[in-house]
Amino acid sequence: MANNRIAGVCYLKVDGAQYALRGSLTVSPDSIEREGIAGMDGVHGYKETPRVPSISADLSDIGGLSLETLRAITDATITAELANGKVYTLRNAWVAGALELDAGEGQVSVTFEGMKCEEMK
């Protein structure tokens, strides 16, 4: 029987080390973005512009999680293992944007950006 699970338990790893994934795991693997171009007489086509692939997640502030250590991540391999069996790998990744610790919830939101994100078969 086929696995019908489409959501649920997921894992996030940075250079093989698993982090305590709280929720809100988002994978954005595209390296290009297409935008339609319309003229006064109709649609003319589209343009493509580069974009930075990313993986974002909320992490629980447990097990010695260090914002300093997170901030220092550069040139890492980020792996997102989804409940439906898909695995995405973000290569040559760094932590993007500012890190903010929500002390009331005990979580840190982090975005990793990288050079290439691949869906592993």
pLDDT one-digit tens code per residue, 91-118: 999 999 999 999 999 999 999 999 999 9
Closest CA to 54 of 13, 94, 14: 94
Domain coordinates of the chain in residue numbers? Answer: 11-120
Q: Which two tokens stand for residue 79?
A: 């792996």
In total, the chain counts a number of residues equal to: 121
> What per-residue confidence (pLDDT) applies to 2?
59
Q: What is the mean pLDDT of residues 6-25?
A: 88
- Express as a percent the part of the chain with pLDDT over 90: 83
Does pLDDT of 38 surpass 80? yes
Q: What is the mean pLDDT of residues 68-96?
A: 95
Query: Cα(79)–Cα(112) distance, rounded to whole angstroms?
Result: 11
- CATH, domain 11-120, list 3.40.50.300, 2.40.30.200, 3.40.50.1220, 3.40.50.450: 2.40.30.200
Q: How far is CA 39 from the centre of its chain?
A: 35
> Concatenated DSSP letters for 9-71?
--EEEETTEEE-EEEEEEEE--SEEEEEEEETTEEEEEEEEE---EEEEEEES-TT--HHHHH
The label of the residue with tokens 């003319």 reads 44
> What per-residue confidence (pLDDT) applies to 99?
94
Q: What is the mean pLDDT of residues 50-65?
A: 94
pLDDT band at 6 (very low <50, low <70, confident <90, very high): low
